[in-house]
Structure 1
């Protein structure tokens, strides 16, 4: 099996990839993650996933490189990582009683052959009605300022949901493992 590289510094993606019990290393790609003018969310996440993988191809020849990127979308507006308490509070207030779609782009690049598989996965979350004091308690407890949508589905954030809908719950955390396994199998990787 070619060496596997996760093109990310995200501990969430690293923890997800560890579930597959495959040896891998990580490296952080240095790319501009700004959306292009008029770029649809689906196009943004697939472009960034591909760019993250290809950014490391020259320095990691002979590797299978995984790139991934995620955005949250509410009423056609892309919500990024909040970065601070106030923005997280505003994102959760906007999500209260509403549906947010999470789009996760995924790319697997074989840096030896140049073959790159790219896809995006949608996962929908219907939020409960959230009172301001509940939002404040949640934000103090988890401080999800580095998470698109301002919550951690793998933690207490699940208590904010009324319903979820999608094919791969791991895509909500940032790395769609079901689709990744398909891509790895197509490259001949044996999954334990």
Structure 2
């Protein structure tokens, strides 16, 4: 952060470790709050609409939680809330977190020698002015064959069970089998840096 940068409080509306790491890498100091919403209750035909609707639902839930606990209006410095959502799209179908080990295994077998896309939304709200900007970003990922023993290891370890579409491209076990990423890795991990940076500036 440059010395002359406007001082503002930043809240990351997510409990995702990957998102926390990306925001920290961008040089921001922030607190985190997570939204307890029923993501399954929100349904949209297009993945782009779905991730935007989910980010809005998360932001609204956090804002109402925040309003109850803190008085924002008295604050001199703006408070900025960053909400985000990511889904994986495979052959036109939206994939969320796998519901079982069997499903996670099937997901990964599908990606082998194939490709998937991630659609990530970022929604930034200035809690003092109410100004809100959101956009989505799409990345295509192409894979080499993924050996069964690698899939077994990933499932045994368990992290993929909590990832949208059972997809973690930055994982050391998966990295060697990623052929090409068309777009930015941080977007796949759940928070596109350039987009987040721009939206924060726009709401300030």
Query: What does residue range 19-98 of structure 1 map to in structure 2 within 5 Å?
Result: 19-34=25-40, 36-37=42-43, 39-58=45-64, 59-60=66-67, 61=72, 62-98=78-114
Displacement of 1:94 in angstroms is 1.4
| Rounded Cα–Cα distance in structure 2 between residues aligned with 1:111 and 1:95 | 40
Which consecutive aligned stretches of 4+ in structure 1 deviate over 6 angstroms post-superposition? none
| Distance in 1 separating the partners of 2:151 and 2:10 | 39
8 A contact 1:65–1:110 mirrored in 2: yes
Unaligned runs of 5+ in 2: 1-6, 73-77
The structure where helix makes up a greater share of residues is 2
Please give the TM-score of this superposition, normalised by the length of structure 2: 0.83
Kindly indicate whether the alpha-carbon contact (under 8 Å) linking 1:51 and 1:67 is maintained by their aligned counterparts in 2.
no
Aligned to 2:182: 165
Consecutive unaligned residues of structure 1, counting only runs of 5 or more, are none
User: Which is further off, 132-141 or 90-99?
Assistant: 132-141
1:113-124 aligned at under 5 Å gives the runs 113-124=129-140
Q: CA RMSD in A?
A: 1.9
Deviation at 1:159, TM superposition (A): 2.1
Question: Which structure would you say has the larger Rg?
Answer: 2
Residue 75 of structure 2 corresponds to none
CA distance in 1, matches of 2:203, 2:49: 24
